[in-house]
Amino acid sequence: MFSKVRVAVGLIRASSCVNSRALVAPSFCKQQHQTFSSGSAAVRVLYDGLCPVCVTEIRFLQFLQRNRPGEVHFIDIAKPDYDGAHYKDVTYEMAMEEMHVIDEKDEVHRGVPAFAVMYSAVGLSWLGRVMMWSPVRPFMDKSYAIFARNRLKWTGREEECTTGRCEKKTPGPSSAENK
């Protein structure tokens, strides 16, 4: 009889960690995170290494995960050797449109859910839960969509990214003459 009660309590605990309405990833529950992460791949965060806002955030996250080496890999999509085939076929163009994170189970998350998975992986699971909380999620989705659509313009990179890959412009002799 006690084993049935123990199983029922375990099921209630496990199911309370996942909120299907808010699409909370299993890694937000400590019990599930321990179960799913043992022996699985690290979280891979695809980011634009030429974006000053993105780089600032990634440096902060790298600082946070300094005591957890190997749990999160930060992949700079701006490097010439970036190949989406190695990252669940997330192309450079897809990664430039919105944030992509590949979790421990090799599932791709985009937009706000990607941030939630990323924050959880570096020890900020509370922030991921807040972002995915149903009263907050619509605001997060709209805010992020506005940022993603305008980040190149807002960071002064719109001209660098007119065709193909973005390239950091280096000041040539003509720009020095105009000063």
The confidence score (pLDDT) of residue 128 equals 94
Low-confidence ranges of the chain (pLDDT < 70): 1-41, 162-164, 167-179
Q: Is the pTM of this model over 0.85?
A: no
The confidence score (pLDDT) of residue 9 equals 37
Q: How far is CA 173 from CA 156, 160, 177, in A?
A: 20, 18, 6
List the domain boundaries for the chain: 26-156
The CATH number, out of the four listed (1.10.730, 1.20.120, 3.40.30, 3.40.50), of the domain defined by the range 26-156: 3.40.30
Sheet holding 100-102, edge to edge: 72-76, 43-47, 100-102, 108-110
